[in-house]
Structure 1
Amino acid sequence: MIRLDERGKQCPLPVIEAKKALETASAGEQVEVIVDNEIAVQNLKKLGDYKGLAFSSQKKGEREYAVVLTAAGNTKTASQETEGQQNSLPEPAAVCCPDGRRKGMVAVISSREMGQGDPALGALLMKGFIYALTQQEVLPEAVLLYNGGAFLSCEGSDNLEDLKTLEAQGVEILTCGTCLNHYGLGDKLRAGSVTNMYEIAERMTGAALLIRP
Protein backbone atom coordinates (compact mmCIF):
# COMPACT_ATOMS: atom_id res chain seq x y z
CA MET A 1 0.00 0.00 0.00
CA ILE A 2 1.16 3.52 -0.83
CA ARG A 3 0.50 5.99 2.00
CA LEU A 4 0.30 9.77 1.58
CA ASP A 5 -0.06 12.21 4.47
CA GLU A 6 -1.76 15.26 2.94
CA ARG A 7 -2.86 16.93 6.17
CA GLY A 8 -2.34 20.66 6.12
CA LYS A 9 -2.06 20.80 2.32
CA GLN A 10 -4.40 23.04 0.38
CA CYS A 11 -6.63 21.86 -2.44
CA PRO A 12 -5.86 20.74 -5.08
CA LEU A 13 -2.56 19.28 -3.78
CA PRO A 14 -4.08 16.13 -2.16
CA VAL A 15 -5.84 15.27 -5.44
CA ILE A 16 -2.77 15.95 -7.57
CA GLU A 17 -0.45 13.88 -5.36
CA ALA A 18 -2.98 11.03 -5.12
CA LYS A 19 -3.27 11.03 -8.91
CA LYS A 20 0.53 10.79 -9.26
CA ALA A 21 0.65 7.90 -6.79
CA LEU A 22 -2.10 6.05 -8.67
CA GLU A 23 -0.19 6.45 -11.93
CA THR A 24 2.84 4.68 -10.44
CA ALA A 25 0.88 2.03 -8.51
CA SER A 26 0.45 -1.54 -9.72
CA ALA A 27 -3.00 -2.86 -10.64
CA GLY A 28 -4.88 -3.67 -7.46
CA GLU A 29 -2.47 -1.76 -5.23
CA GLN A 30 -4.11 0.56 -2.71
CA VAL A 31 -3.26 4.22 -2.19
CA GLU A 32 -4.17 5.55 1.26
CA VAL A 33 -4.47 9.32 1.55
CA ILE A 34 -4.72 10.98 4.97
CA VAL A 35 -6.44 14.38 4.87
CA ASP A 36 -7.82 16.77 7.48
CA ASN A 37 -11.14 17.94 6.04
CA GLU A 38 -14.31 16.59 4.46
CA ILE A 39 -13.93 18.68 1.29
CA ALA A 40 -10.64 16.90 0.53
CA VAL A 41 -12.44 13.57 0.95
CA GLN A 42 -15.09 14.66 -1.57
CA ASN A 43 -12.43 15.79 -4.03
CA LEU A 44 -10.65 12.43 -3.79
CA LYS A 45 -13.94 10.61 -4.29
CA LYS A 46 -14.51 12.70 -7.42
CA LEU A 47 -11.09 11.56 -8.69
CA GLY A 48 -11.94 7.93 -7.95
CA ASP A 49 -15.35 8.20 -9.63
CA TYR A 50 -13.81 9.72 -12.74
CA LYS A 51 -11.22 6.95 -13.02
CA GLY A 52 -13.66 4.21 -12.05
CA LEU A 53 -11.65 3.17 -8.98
CA ALA A 54 -12.76 1.45 -5.78
CA PHE A 55 -13.05 4.08 -3.05
CA SER A 56 -13.53 4.02 0.71
CA SER A 57 -13.12 6.58 3.47
CA GLN A 58 -13.05 6.55 7.24
CA LYS A 59 -13.08 9.36 9.79
CA LYS A 60 -10.36 8.56 12.31
CA GLY A 61 -10.43 11.75 14.35
CA GLU A 62 -11.77 15.28 14.51
CA ARG A 63 -9.47 16.38 11.70
CA GLU A 64 -8.22 13.09 10.30
CA TYR A 65 -9.78 11.16 7.43
CA ALA A 66 -8.32 8.10 5.71
CA VAL A 67 -9.21 7.68 2.04
CA VAL A 68 -8.30 4.51 0.17
CA LEU A 69 -8.25 4.31 -3.63
CA THR A 70 -7.46 1.05 -5.41
CA ALA A 71 -5.37 1.41 -8.53
CA ALA A 72 -6.45 -0.33 -11.73
CA GLY A 73 -4.45 -1.52 -14.69
CA ASN A 74 -6.38 0.85 -16.94
CA THR A 75 -8.01 3.80 -15.20
CA LYS A 76 -9.82 5.29 -18.15
CA THR A 77 -13.54 5.77 -17.90
CA ALA A 78 -15.91 3.66 -19.97
CA SER A 79 -16.64 6.61 -22.22
CA GLN A 80 -12.94 6.84 -23.05
CA GLU A 81 -12.68 3.13 -23.86
CA THR A 82 -15.23 3.15 -26.66
CA GLU A 83 -13.95 0.90 -29.43
CA GLY A 84 -12.24 2.77 -32.22
CA GLN A 85 -12.04 6.06 -30.29
CA GLN A 86 -8.85 7.81 -31.33
CA ASN A 87 -8.72 10.81 -29.03
CA SER A 88 -9.36 10.35 -25.33
CA LEU A 89 -11.26 13.03 -23.50
CA PRO A 90 -9.09 15.37 -21.44
CA GLU A 91 -9.14 14.72 -17.75
CA PRO A 92 -10.79 17.56 -15.85
CA ALA A 93 -8.48 19.80 -13.86
CA ALA A 94 -8.31 19.15 -10.13
CA VAL A 95 -10.56 21.72 -8.50
CA CYS A 96 -11.99 22.12 -5.05
CA CYS A 97 -15.62 21.15 -4.64
CA PRO A 98 -18.44 21.43 -3.86
CA ASP A 99 -19.27 24.91 -5.11
CA GLY A 100 -19.65 26.89 -1.89
CA ARG A 101 -19.94 30.37 -3.38
CA ARG A 102 -22.72 32.62 -2.19
CA LYS A 103 -24.19 34.71 -4.96
CA GLY A 104 -23.95 38.41 -4.19
CA MET A 105 -21.27 38.10 -1.49
CA VAL A 106 -18.16 40.11 -2.37
CA ALA A 107 -14.92 40.57 -0.42
CA VAL A 108 -13.28 43.98 -0.85
CA ILE A 109 -9.60 44.37 0.06
CA SER A 110 -7.90 47.75 -0.33
CA SER A 111 -4.70 47.24 1.68
CA ARG A 112 -1.89 44.78 2.27
CA GLU A 113 -2.67 45.06 5.97
CA MET A 114 -5.73 44.31 8.08
CA GLY A 115 -6.74 46.99 10.56
CA GLN A 116 -4.83 49.93 11.96
CA GLY A 117 -1.61 49.82 13.97
CA ASP A 118 1.58 47.83 13.53
CA PRO A 119 2.18 47.14 9.79
CA ALA A 120 3.83 43.76 10.41
CA LEU A 121 0.90 42.65 12.54
CA GLY A 122 -1.52 44.00 9.95
CA ALA A 123 0.14 41.95 7.19
CA LEU A 124 0.07 38.84 9.39
CA LEU A 125 -3.63 39.38 10.14
CA MET A 126 -4.42 39.83 6.44
CA LYS A 127 -2.63 36.59 5.59
CA GLY A 128 -4.59 34.82 8.31
CA PHE A 129 -7.86 36.33 7.11
CA ILE A 130 -7.42 35.26 3.48
CA TYR A 131 -6.40 31.75 4.56
CA ALA A 132 -9.44 31.59 6.86
CA LEU A 133 -11.59 32.67 3.92
CA THR A 134 -10.47 29.57 2.00
CA GLN A 135 -11.69 27.39 4.87
CA GLN A 136 -15.24 28.75 5.05
CA GLU A 137 -18.20 26.64 3.99
CA VAL A 138 -19.65 29.71 2.28
CA LEU A 139 -17.26 31.53 -0.07
CA PRO A 140 -17.58 34.95 -1.67
CA GLU A 141 -18.56 35.22 -5.31
CA ALA A 142 -15.64 37.56 -5.94
CA VAL A 143 -12.65 39.20 -4.25
CA LEU A 144 -11.96 42.77 -5.36
CA LEU A 145 -8.40 44.05 -4.84
CA TYR A 146 -7.51 47.70 -5.26
CA ASN A 147 -5.01 50.30 -4.00
CA GLY A 148 -2.58 48.47 -1.66
CA GLY A 149 -4.66 45.32 -1.96
CA ALA A 150 -3.33 44.94 -5.50
CA PHE A 151 -0.04 43.65 -4.06
CA LEU A 152 -1.79 40.56 -2.67
CA SER A 153 -2.42 38.94 -6.06
CA CYS A 154 1.05 39.63 -7.43
CA GLU A 155 4.38 37.84 -7.54
CA GLY A 156 6.06 37.68 -4.14
CA SER A 157 2.85 37.93 -2.13
CA ASP A 158 2.46 35.70 0.93
CA ASN A 159 -1.25 35.54 0.10
CA LEU A 160 -0.84 34.28 -3.45
CA GLU A 161 -1.42 30.57 -2.85
CA ASP A 162 -4.56 31.20 -0.79
CA LEU A 163 -5.97 33.45 -3.51
CA LYS A 164 -5.23 30.71 -6.04
CA THR A 165 -7.08 28.26 -3.80
CA LEU A 166 -10.13 30.53 -3.85
CA GLU A 167 -9.81 30.91 -7.61
CA ALA A 168 -9.70 27.11 -8.00
CA GLN A 169 -13.07 26.99 -6.24
CA GLY A 170 -14.61 29.42 -8.71
CA VAL A 171 -14.15 32.66 -6.77
CA GLU A 172 -13.31 35.54 -9.11
CA ILE A 173 -10.10 37.34 -8.09
CA LEU A 174 -10.23 40.80 -9.67
CA THR A 175 -7.41 43.33 -9.31
CA CYS A 176 -7.63 47.00 -10.27
CA GLY A 177 -5.55 47.66 -13.41
CA THR A 178 -4.95 51.32 -12.55
CA CYS A 179 -3.55 50.24 -9.19
CA LEU A 180 -1.28 47.63 -10.77
CA ASN A 181 0.12 50.25 -13.13
CA HIS A 182 0.53 52.82 -10.35
CA TYR A 183 2.61 50.44 -8.24
CA GLY A 184 4.59 49.10 -11.19
CA LEU A 185 2.94 45.68 -10.95
CA GLY A 186 1.57 45.50 -14.48
CA ASP A 187 3.49 42.31 -15.32
CA LYS A 188 3.46 40.81 -11.82
CA LEU A 189 -0.16 39.63 -11.55
CA ARG A 190 -0.21 35.91 -10.68
CA ALA A 191 -3.79 35.24 -9.52
CA GLY A 192 -7.08 36.17 -11.12
CA SER A 193 -7.48 38.88 -13.73
CA VAL A 194 -7.34 42.63 -14.20
CA THR A 195 -10.44 44.74 -13.72
CA ASN A 196 -11.37 48.42 -13.79
CA MET A 197 -13.06 50.85 -11.43
CA TYR A 198 -16.34 50.69 -13.32
CA GLU A 199 -16.61 46.94 -12.68
CA ILE A 200 -15.45 47.37 -9.08
CA ALA A 201 -18.19 49.97 -8.51
CA GLU A 202 -20.73 47.77 -10.28
CA ARG A 203 -19.82 44.72 -8.18
CA MET A 204 -19.91 46.70 -4.95
CA THR A 205 -23.20 48.47 -5.60
CA GLY A 206 -24.83 45.24 -6.76
CA ALA A 207 -23.56 43.11 -3.88
CA ALA A 208 -25.97 41.68 -1.35
CA LEU A 209 -23.16 41.46 1.22
CA LEU A 210 -19.77 43.21 1.29
CA ILE A 211 -16.89 41.84 3.39
CA ARG A 212 -14.22 44.37 4.34
CA PRO A 213 -11.34 42.97 6.42
Structure 2
Amino acid sequence: MMKEIDAKGLACPKPVVLAKKAITSNQKVLVIVDNQTAVSNLTKLGKKMGAEVSVVEESETEFRVLFKKSKSSDSENTESDAENNGAKIYLISADTMGDGERELGQILIKGFISTIKELDPLPKRIIFLNSGVKLATKEDIIFYLKELEELGVEIFFCGTCVDYYGLQEEIKVGEISNMFEIADNLNREDLVTI
Protein backbone atom coordinates (compact mmCIF):
# COMPACT_ATOMS: atom_id res chain seq x y z
CA MET A 1 0.00 0.00 0.00
CA MET A 2 1.20 3.53 -0.78
CA LYS A 3 1.11 6.43 1.68
CA GLU A 4 0.12 9.78 0.10
CA ILE A 5 1.02 13.16 1.61
CA ASP A 6 -0.38 16.48 0.39
CA ALA A 7 2.35 18.98 1.31
CA LYS A 8 1.26 21.78 -1.04
CA GLY A 9 1.58 25.19 0.59
CA LEU A 10 3.76 23.95 3.43
CA ALA A 11 6.95 25.89 4.15
CA CYS A 12 10.40 24.28 4.31
CA PRO A 13 11.19 21.93 6.02
CA LYS A 14 7.66 20.54 6.61
CA PRO A 15 7.40 18.53 3.34
CA VAL A 16 10.76 16.86 4.08
CA VAL A 17 9.83 16.12 7.70
CA LEU A 18 6.50 14.56 6.69
CA ALA A 19 8.16 12.54 3.92
CA LYS A 20 10.92 11.26 6.20
CA LYS A 21 8.42 10.00 8.78
CA ALA A 22 6.35 8.29 6.08
CA ILE A 23 9.36 6.70 4.31
CA THR A 24 10.53 5.23 7.62
CA SER A 25 7.36 3.16 7.96
CA ASN A 26 6.17 2.65 4.35
CA GLN A 27 7.62 0.97 1.25
CA LYS A 28 6.05 3.53 -1.12
CA VAL A 29 5.30 7.18 -0.42
CA LEU A 30 3.84 9.82 -2.75
CA VAL A 31 4.40 13.44 -1.71
CA ILE A 32 2.57 16.26 -3.50
CA VAL A 33 4.27 19.67 -3.41
CA ASP A 34 3.83 22.96 -5.27
CA ASN A 35 7.38 24.15 -5.99
CA GLN A 36 10.65 22.97 -7.50
CA THR A 37 12.67 23.71 -4.33
CA ALA A 38 10.54 21.21 -2.41
CA VAL A 39 11.12 18.63 -5.18
CA SER A 40 14.87 19.17 -4.91
CA ASN A 41 14.77 18.84 -1.12
CA LEU A 42 12.69 15.65 -1.33
CA THR A 43 15.08 14.18 -3.89
CA LYS A 44 18.03 14.76 -1.56
CA LEU A 45 16.11 13.17 1.30
CA GLY A 46 15.34 10.10 -0.77
CA LYS A 47 18.97 9.65 -1.77
CA LYS A 48 20.10 10.08 1.83
CA MET A 49 17.59 7.46 2.98
CA GLY A 50 18.54 5.06 0.18
CA ALA A 51 15.12 5.25 -1.49
CA GLU A 52 14.43 5.43 -5.22
CA VAL A 53 12.95 8.86 -6.01
CA SER A 54 11.09 9.99 -9.12
CA VAL A 55 8.83 12.85 -10.14
CA VAL A 56 5.86 10.93 -11.54
CA GLU A 57 3.73 13.91 -12.47
CA GLU A 58 4.48 17.59 -12.94
CA SER A 59 2.34 20.63 -13.79
CA GLU A 60 2.62 24.37 -13.23
CA THR A 61 1.06 24.09 -9.78
CA GLU A 62 1.85 20.58 -8.61
CA PHE A 63 4.66 18.03 -8.45
CA ARG A 64 4.12 14.41 -7.41
CA VAL A 65 7.26 12.84 -5.97
CA LEU A 66 7.31 9.08 -5.49
CA PHE A 67 9.62 7.29 -3.05
CA LYS A 68 10.25 3.54 -3.20
CA LYS A 69 12.21 2.20 -0.28
CA SER A 70 14.66 -0.61 -0.94
CA LYS A 71 15.19 -3.45 1.54
CA SER A 72 18.69 -2.18 2.42
CA SER A 73 17.65 1.47 2.99
CA ASP A 74 17.53 1.27 6.79
CA SER A 75 20.94 -0.36 7.19
CA GLU A 76 22.56 2.07 4.72
CA ASN A 77 21.16 5.04 6.63
CA THR A 78 22.48 3.67 9.94
CA GLU A 79 25.96 3.21 8.46
CA SER A 80 25.86 6.75 7.09
CA ASP A 81 24.92 8.11 10.52
CA ALA A 82 27.84 6.26 12.12
CA GLU A 83 30.29 7.76 9.62
CA ASN A 84 29.12 11.30 10.51
CA ASN A 85 29.56 11.01 14.28
CA GLY A 86 32.24 13.31 15.60
CA ALA A 87 32.78 15.27 12.36
CA LYS A 88 33.02 19.06 12.65
CA ILE A 89 30.81 21.44 10.76
CA TYR A 90 31.02 25.20 10.53
CA LEU A 91 27.85 27.29 10.62
CA ILE A 92 28.28 30.72 9.02
CA SER A 93 25.20 32.86 9.58
CA ALA A 94 26.36 36.29 8.36
CA ASP A 95 28.31 37.81 5.49
CA THR A 96 30.66 39.42 8.02
CA MET A 97 32.54 38.13 11.05
CA GLY A 98 31.99 39.74 14.43
CA ASP A 99 29.87 42.70 15.48
CA GLY A 100 32.18 45.66 14.82
CA GLU A 101 32.62 47.74 11.70
CA ARG A 102 31.09 46.12 8.60
CA GLU A 103 34.20 46.62 6.45
CA LEU A 104 36.38 44.94 9.07
CA GLY A 105 33.87 42.08 9.38
CA GLN A 106 34.04 41.50 5.62
CA ILE A 107 37.84 41.36 5.73
CA LEU A 108 37.73 38.93 8.66
CA ILE A 109 35.22 36.52 7.09
CA LYS A 110 37.22 36.42 3.84
CA GLY A 111 40.40 35.72 5.83
CA PHE A 112 38.64 33.02 7.81
CA ILE A 113 37.25 31.21 4.77
CA SER A 114 40.58 31.43 2.93
CA THR A 115 42.35 29.90 5.95
CA ILE A 116 40.07 26.88 6.43
CA LYS A 117 41.95 24.84 3.79
CA GLU A 118 45.06 25.01 5.98
CA LEU A 119 43.36 23.35 8.95
CA ASP A 120 44.03 19.78 9.97
CA PRO A 121 41.60 18.17 10.03
CA LEU A 122 39.39 19.95 7.55
CA PRO A 123 35.74 20.38 8.55
CA LYS A 124 33.37 17.86 7.04
CA ARG A 125 30.84 20.53 6.09
CA ILE A 126 30.25 24.29 6.03
CA ILE A 127 26.65 25.50 6.24
CA PHE A 128 25.72 29.05 5.26
CA LEU A 129 22.45 30.59 6.37
CA ASN A 130 20.80 33.97 6.77
CA SER A 131 23.00 36.68 5.17
CA GLY A 132 25.89 34.19 5.16
CA VAL A 133 24.49 32.86 1.85
CA LYS A 134 25.50 36.17 0.23
CA LEU A 135 29.13 35.07 0.49
CA ALA A 136 28.48 32.61 -2.36
CA THR A 137 28.04 35.55 -4.73
CA LYS A 138 31.49 37.06 -4.14
CA GLU A 139 34.10 35.83 -6.66
CA ASP A 140 36.99 35.91 -4.18
CA ILE A 141 34.99 33.82 -1.67
CA ILE A 142 33.71 31.43 -4.39
CA PHE A 143 37.34 30.69 -5.28
CA TYR A 144 38.08 29.51 -1.72
CA LEU A 145 34.82 27.56 -1.44
CA LYS A 146 35.60 25.70 -4.68
CA GLU A 147 39.05 24.84 -3.30
CA LEU A 148 37.44 23.49 -0.14
CA GLU A 149 34.95 21.45 -2.18
CA GLU A 150 37.83 19.92 -4.15
CA LEU A 151 39.39 18.93 -0.82
CA GLY A 152 36.19 17.11 0.13
CA VAL A 153 34.47 19.72 2.32
CA GLU A 154 30.70 19.78 1.71
CA ILE A 155 29.26 23.28 1.20
CA PHE A 156 25.55 23.80 1.98
CA PHE A 157 23.39 26.91 1.60
CA CYS A 158 20.00 27.35 3.28
CA GLY A 159 17.42 27.23 0.47
CA THR A 160 14.97 29.52 2.25
CA CYS A 161 17.74 32.10 2.71
CA VAL A 162 18.85 31.82 -0.93
CA ASP A 163 15.23 32.34 -2.05
CA TYR A 164 14.74 35.25 0.36
CA TYR A 165 17.74 37.13 -1.06
CA GLY A 166 16.90 36.12 -4.66
CA LEU A 167 20.26 34.41 -5.21
CA GLN A 168 19.10 31.17 -6.91
CA GLU A 169 20.96 31.93 -10.15
CA GLU A 170 24.09 33.22 -8.41
CA ILE A 171 25.03 30.15 -6.35
CA LYS A 172 27.89 28.54 -8.33
CA VAL A 173 29.35 26.28 -5.66
CA GLY A 174 28.02 23.79 -3.12
CA GLU A 175 24.44 22.64 -2.70
CA ILE A 176 21.18 24.35 -1.88
CA SER A 177 19.92 22.62 1.25
CA ASN A 178 16.85 22.82 3.47
CA MET A 179 16.17 23.45 7.14
CA PHE A 180 15.52 19.79 7.92
CA GLU A 181 18.91 18.77 6.52
CA ILE A 182 20.60 21.67 8.32
CA ALA A 183 18.91 20.84 11.65
CA ASP A 184 19.76 17.16 11.18
CA ASN A 185 23.42 18.07 10.62
CA LEU A 186 23.54 20.38 13.62
CA ASN A 187 22.01 17.65 15.76
CA ARG A 188 24.62 15.04 14.77
CA GLU A 189 27.90 16.87 14.40
CA ASP A 190 30.42 18.83 16.43
CA LEU A 191 29.50 22.43 15.68
CA VAL A 192 31.65 25.51 15.25
CA THR A 193 29.54 28.67 14.92
CA ILE A 194 31.04 31.64 13.11
Equivalent runs, 1:139-158 vs 2, <5 Å: 139-154=122-137, 156-158=138-140
- C-alpha distance in structure 2 between counterparts of 1:102 and 1:198, whole Å: 18
- TM superposition shift of 1:179: 0.6
Offset from partner CA, 1:148-173 (integer Å, 9 cap, x none): 1101123x343111111110011100
Offset from partner CA, 1:106-131 (integer Å, 9 cap, x none): 01000000010100000100000011
- C-alpha distance in structure 2 between counterparts of 1:195 and 1:149, whole Å: 14
**Among residues 144, 153, 175, which one is paired with 1:171 in the alignment?**
153
Q: State the AA in 2 paired with 1:188.
A: E
Q: Which residue of 2 aligns with 1:159?
A: 141
Sort the Cα spacing of 1:153 and 1:102 in 2 relative to 1 into closer, same or farther, 3 A.
farther
**Among residues 146, 163, 171, which one is paired with 1:189 in the alignment?**
171
1:174 and 1:194 in contact (8 A); partners too: yes
Q: Secondary structure at the match of 2:87?
A: strand
Larger % of helix: which? 2
Q: Secondary structure at the match of 1:174?
A: strand
**Among residues 138, 144, 147, which one is paired with 2:121 in the alignment?**
138
Structure 2 unmatched runs, 5+: 1-83
Q: Which residue of 1 aligns with 2:192?
A: 211
**Among residues 95, 99, 104, which one is paired with 1:121 in the alignment?**
104
Structure 1 unmatched runs, 5+: 1-100
Q: State the AA in 2 paired with 1:212.
A: T
Q: Which residue of 2 aligns with 1:107?
A: 90
- TM superposition shift of 1:141: 0.5
Q: Secondary structure at the match of 2:124?
A: strand
Question: What is the TM-score when the length of structure 2 is the normalising length?
Answer: 0.55
| Greater RCO (CA < 8 Å, at least 6 residues apart) | 2
1:152 and 1:158 in contact (8 A); partners too: no
- C-alpha distance in structure 2 between counterparts of 1:204 and 1:123, whole Å: 25
Q: State the AA in 1 paired with 2:175.
A: S
Percent identity at matched positions? 36
> 4+ residue runs of structure 1 moved beyond 4 angstroms?
none
- C-alpha distance in structure 1 between counterparts of 2:142 and 2:155, whole Å: 11
Larger radius of gyration: 1
Question: What is the TM-score when the length of structure 1 is the normalising length?
Answer: 0.50
